[in-house]
Amino acid sequence: MNENSQYLGPFYRFAIDQVGVGVHAIDKNGKTVLYNDQMRKIEGLHSTDVEDRSILEVFQFEKEESTLLHVLSTGKPVNRVKQTYWNNKGREITTINDTYPIFEQGQLIGAIEFARDITALERLVYQPLRRYNEPITLSSLTAVSETMRLVISKAKSAAQVRMPLLLIGEAGTGKDLIAEGIHHQLTPSNDQFISLFCHSSDPLLVNKFREELKNVSNSTIFCERIDLLSLELQKELLHILQTSTGKHNLFIASIGSDPIDLVASRSLSRDLYYYFASMTITVPPLRERKEDIVPFVEDYLRRLEDRHGQSKVTIDSKVQELLLSYDWPGNLKELELLLDETSTMLTMESTLTEDLLPVQFRYKLAVQDKSQVTASDFLLTSEKDLMPLDQYLREAETYYLQKAVEKFEGNITKAAEALGMSRQNLQYRLRKLRNARN
Ligand SMILES: Nc1ncnc2c1ncn2[C@@H]1O[C@H](COP(=O)(O)OP(=O)(O)OP(=O)(O)O)[C@@H](O)[C@H]1O
């Protein structure tokens, strides 16, 4: 380092921690030399976990799995790679990554990756009912199963009672839409529906909300995923809600899993929970109400017909069978994304057939089928059962990891925490084991 760059060092370090993008740089040996605050938030890791360690060691990647190492080996940039993560608070994060080689005097000395968090943007894009400009009423939601009809009927009662309400359910089950449906059900009606998107622990978010609320009355205010705010911000939020009285606002909140577990794991403030707990509605995951799958697809196709003047599309029976056989860990959001992808292929077709389903979905189905290993597969009952140790360990590992993931209902971050490994490591191992089985 020359004198000038030594002098500027602290300025650069400060600037790197203030920028809104995640920054991760490695030297030519693959060791992390830079890992900023934003990257730590995105990855859910501490800088001490990664600094001065090889990324192969931290993430247990194969060389070809890491874009940073790929760029280091080719000396060429890789741009606009989209990735979705679940961080250690169970928060879904989508990033766009750009990775560049770093040269000094013509020599390749390392690589640097920039990750932009585009989660909020992604959510705006994937709001189909909104993009069709339909008002979101309780009757515009797909609710054919008995459990979902019960949810709608409870939502109607909640609209009559007008008390703080808590919506409980996995991501993508439709809590957001139900909150808006309740708003449209109110008589007398409220003037506006406002969403507070709590997917960030930025204090500015709550401060802005406090300011906005001063001028808001007669409104429905939906605090979406309060369990993703830090406990400190949850306390501030509670204070704001408790002091905003006499303005005829209706407060609704949502959380991503059982409130008792969330309170026990210190992800949800007990007092904030009690504020909303006078009325709760649990929205079941799609795998527990599969009767809603085909009607949801039909509703989606009907909107497509109305919007593009497309002729009627029917769903092939094999496709129905496949859709019903899948577990939908991402619930209706995942189904909707599948339909978004499929619809681009549907312009000339009158039947939704298996070959129009995206390859990734067929892959997911195949993986699901192959992963139905049971504990008895590991019992040794006769010498005939003996298999090479490598194969046995691989199968045992697959079984154990899958059980851990199931226990945490598909939440990779929580499963990884319980298994004492990083989320990246668990995701990588699952992928590797799946590939080995195929
Ligand atoms: N019953 C339903 N009828 C029609 N569309 C639905 C229904 N449930 C969910 N969706 C669609 O699924 C997507 C996810 O729904 P939504 O955002 O309301 O889920 P959520 O439970 O609030 O998720 P998160 O916890 O991530 O905020 C939305 O794009 C929505 O249009």
Token representation of residue 345: 């292929």
Domains, the chain, ranges and CATH?
Answer: 3-117 (3.30.450.20), 126-284 (3.40.50.300), 290-362 (1.10.8.60), 375-437 (1.10.10)
Q: Which residue has the tokens 């292929």?
A: 345
Q: Which sign does the torsion angle of CA 120, 124, 125, 128 carry?
A: positive
Q: Pocket of ligand 1, candidates 94, 127, 332: which has the most ligand atoms within 8 Å of its Cβ, to mutate?
A: 332
| Ligand 1 closest atom vs CA 174 | 18
At residue 70, what are phi and psi to the nearest 5 degrees?
Answer: -60, -45
In total, the chain counts a number of residues equal to 438
From 182, 173, 187, select the one nearest 155 (Cα to Cα): 182
The b-or-e profile of 4-26 (16+ CB within 10 A means b, else e) is: eeeeeeeeeeeebeeeebbbbbb
Query: How far are the Cα atoms of 45, 214, 277 from residue 194, in angstroms, in the given order?
Result: 33, 14, 20
CA of residue 177 to ligand 1 center, whole Å: 6
Work out the pLDDT band at 274, boundaries 50, 70, 90: very high
CA of 276 to the centre of ligand 1 (A): 21
CA dist., res. 218 & res. 190, Å (int): 5
Among 333, 334, 339, 411, which residue has the most ligand 1 atoms within 8 Å of its CB, making it the best to mutate? Answer: 333
Least confident of 19-33, 270-284, 413-427: 413-427
Asked if the model's pLDDT at residue 271 lies above 80, the reply is yes
Q: Does residue 127 have its Cβ closer than 6 Å to ligand 1?
A: yes
The H or E element that residue 177 is part of is helix 175-185
- pLDDT, position 214: 86
**Residue 168: what residue type?**
I
Tell me which of 177, 183, 287 to substitute to probe ligand 1's pocket, judged by most ligand atoms within 8 Å of the beta carbon: 177
User: Phi then psi for 230, rounded to 5 degrees?
Assistant: -70, 160
Q: What average pLDDT does range 253-271 have in this prediction? A: 91
Q: Which residues pair with 101 in a beta bridge?
A: 111
Q: Which has more confidence, 252 or 116?
A: 252
Report CA dihedral (171, 414, 399, 421) to the nearest 10 degrees. Answer: 140
Q: Report the percent of the chain where pLDDT is more than 70.
A: 79
User: pLDDT tens digits, residue range 349-365?
Assistant: 788 898 888 777 877 77
CA of 285 to the centre of ligand 1 (A): 11
Question: What string of H, E and C letters represents the secondary structure of 416-434?
Answer: HHHHCCCHHHHHHHHHHHH
Average pLDDT value for residue range 306-310: 68
Q: Does residue 168 line the site of ligand 1, with CB under 6 A?
A: no
Using 50, 70 and 90 to split pLDDT, how confident is the model at 397? confident
Distance (Å) from CA 298 to ligand 1 centroid: 16
For residue 332 and ligand 1, the question of a CB distance below 6 A is answered with yes
For residue 336, the CA-to-ligand 1 centroid distance in Å is 9
- CB of 67 closer than 6 angstroms to any ligand 1 atom: no
**Ligand 1 centroid from CA 119, angstroms:** 15
* Residue (of 278, 294, 275) closest to 286 by Cα position: 294
Q: What residues form DSSP beta bridges with 97? A: 81, 115
Answer whether 209's CB lies under 8 Å from 314's CB: no
Look at ligand 1, atom 6, and give the residue with the nearest C-alpha.
174
In angstroms, what is the span from residue 333 Cα to ligand 1's centroid?
Answer: 6
- Using 50, 70 and 90 to split pLDDT, how confident is the model at 62? very low
- In this predicted structure, the answer to whether residue 87 has a pLDDT above a threshold of 70 is no
The predicted model scores a pTM of 0.64
Which stretch of 40-44, 181-185, 244-248, 331-335 has the lowest confidence by average pLDDT?
A: 40-44
Please compute the mean of the pLDDT values over residues 321-338 and round it to a whole number: 88
| pLDDT tens by residue, 162-172 | 999 999 999 88
Instruction: Please check the confidence at residue 283 and state whether its pLDDT lies above 90.
Output: yes
Q: Is residue 304 within 8 Å of residue 346, measured between CB atoms? A: yes
Q: Which atom of ligand 1 is nearest to the CA of 179?
A: 18
The residue whose two tokens read 């080689």 is 101
Question: Which of helix, strand or coil describes residue 337?
Answer: helix
Mean pLDDT score across all residues of the chain: 82
Q: What distance in angstroms lies between residue 332's CA and the mean position of ligand 1's atoms? A: 6
Name, in order, each residue with C-beta under 8 angstroms of 388's C-beta and a sequence gap of 6 or more: none
Is the minimum distance from the CB of 330 to ligand 1 under 6 angstroms?
A: no
142 lines ligand 1 (CB under 6 A): yes
Bridge partners for 314 per DSSP = 351
